[in-house]
Amino acid sequence: MSGGARTIRLIAHRAGVLALLLWTTGAAAQPACPPPPGDATATASAVRQAIENARNRGVLWRFEKDGRHGYLYTTVHLGKLAWAPPGPTVSRALRESETIAVEADLTDPAFSGALMAPQKPDEAPVLAPSLIARLRARAAKVCAPWERLEPMPAMMTVVTLTLLDAGWDGLHVDYATELVLAGFAKATGKEIVALETAAIQRAALMGGSPAEQLARIEAFVESLENGTARKEMIATANAWASGDLDALSGALATLKPAERAALDRMVFARNPALAARIDELHRGGRRIFATAGIMHMIGDNGLPKLLAARGFKVERVVFEDR
């Protein structure tokens, strides 16, 4: 099996991602489920075709400081088999690099376990029976067993349902860029490090008072019910695939104040620490291929500009196949 094929096989089978477990456990029991991701059923020819037709997707920057360079790359939490194999330019950058730095190492069982651990009673929001019923209804629509969702923090339940809902449009967490890159690192023996801890990720998702969390959960559930959550996920994934940062920047201008405040807290507020961590790894002397979600890259507080403020020369890499 080629290195590319090994990478694809490793993406989900060894990842231990809960959303995948939810799919594989419940999908067979009901006929009206989102189409399966295909990683477990993809034929060798389909994998080979995806590798042969691999294109450069996402956005890649080359950064340099102190006579050494590294790379910064966008990720997205959903994908397709056709998007999974890195294109030629991204592959070269990966091969050049010694350490793959991911925003969160979802292949680490300890990390995933800490992320999914129940909240303390005094920290968790109290969900009304009507809200629980709405969540259960959404779980049924994506064939996710409620007994697997119920022990999770409520916000993680909503996030998982949002990811699974995108399966109706052929986008699956199995092909999330983070898992692709983790699979590449494992298949090639490269070092993989996390830019953030599970505690940081939990704080971003579950921070604030129980009342504030409850308001966010209710807003998420409403967006699932009216279809806007899926539209936003699809728009973000397609913007990643085409490298269209302008589309995402333009979408920011249309957000309501409460939506922008939530994004500031959950995404942009983490950027200074992410930039500092990338800088720290770079100073360690190894060539870094650093990654973070595409939303972390836009605006004046985006990672490219924050790295430039730290003395890096940062240049976007032009993809010739675009």
Q: Give pLDDT tens digits for 199-246.
A: 999 999 999 999 999 999 999 999 999 999 999 999 999 999 999 999
Q: Please enumerate in sequence order all residues whose Cβ is within 8 A of that of 140, keeping only pairs 6 or more positions apart, or say none.
A: 30, 146
Q: What is the pLDDT of residue 43?
A: 66
Distance CA 172, CA 34 (A): 10
DSSP-derived secondary structure letter, 14: T
Q: Which of 180, 161, 2 is nearest to 82 (CA)?
A: 180
Model confidence at 118: pLDDT above 60: yes
* Low-confidence winner among 130-139, 227-236, 248-257 (lowest mean pLDDT): 248-257
C-alpha span between 102 and 220 (Å, rounded):
26
Confidence (pLDDT) at 28:
41
Query: Does the pLDDT at position 6 exceed 80?
Result: no
Determine the pLDDT at residue 12: 34
Average pLDDT of the chain is 87
- Please give the Cα distance from 35 to 137 (Å, whole number): 18
Q: Which residue has the tokens 């910064």?
A: 72
Q: Which residue has the tokens 């190894």?
A: 286
Looking at residue 19, its pLDDT comes to 36
**pLDDT score for 253:** 85
Task: Report which residue type is found at 32.
Answer: A
Residue 39: closest CA among 193, 189, 167, 158: 167
pLDDT at 60 over 60: yes
- Determine the pLDDT at residue 186: 87
Distances (CA, A) of 5 to 10, 102, 226, 266: 9, 21, 38, 34
Residue 114 CA to residue 134 CA, distance in Å, equals 26
What confidence tens digit (pLDDT) does each residue in 143-195 have?
Answer: 999 999 999 999 999 999 999 999 999 999 888 998 889 888 988 999 999 99
| Residue 155, in any domain of the structure | yes
Q: Residue 66 carries which side chain, given as an amino acid letter?
A: D
Indicate whether 216 belongs to any domain: yes
Mean pLDDT, residues 90-100 taken together: 96
The share of the chain scoring above pLDDT 90, in percent, equals 68
Phi-psi group of 276: left, alpha or beta (phi > 0 → left; psi -120 to 50 → alpha; rest → beta): alpha
Task: Quote the pLDDT of residue 9.
Answer: 38
Ranked by mean pLDDT, the top range of 3-7, 29-33, 76-80 is 76-80
Give the residue numbers spanning the domain of 202. Answer: 3-316
Which SS3 state, helix, strand or coil, does residue 317 take?
coil
Low-confidence winner among 30-44, 132-146, 259-273 (lowest mean pLDDT)? 30-44
Q: What is the CA radius of gyration of the chain?
A: 19
Residue 249 belongs to a domain: yes
Alpha helices in 142-209 (DSSP H): 146-149, 154-165, 177-188, 198-206
**Structural domains of the chain, count:** 1
In a domain, 321, yes or no: no
How far, CA to CA in Å, does 202 sit from each of 131, 149, 272, 290, 313?
22, 16, 17, 21, 32
Say how far residue 317 (Cα) sits from the centre of its chain: 21
The answer to the question of residue 322 being in a domain is no
Specify whether the CB–CB gap between 179 and 107 falls below 8 A.
yes
pLDDT of res. 254: 86
Q: How confident is the model over 64-77, as a mean pLDDT? A: 96
Q: Is residue 100 part of a domain?
A: yes
Average pLDDT estimate for 8-17? 36
284 within some domain: yes
In the chain, DSSP finds a helix count (H) and a strand count (E) of 16, 6
Averaged pLDDT for residues 302-315: 98
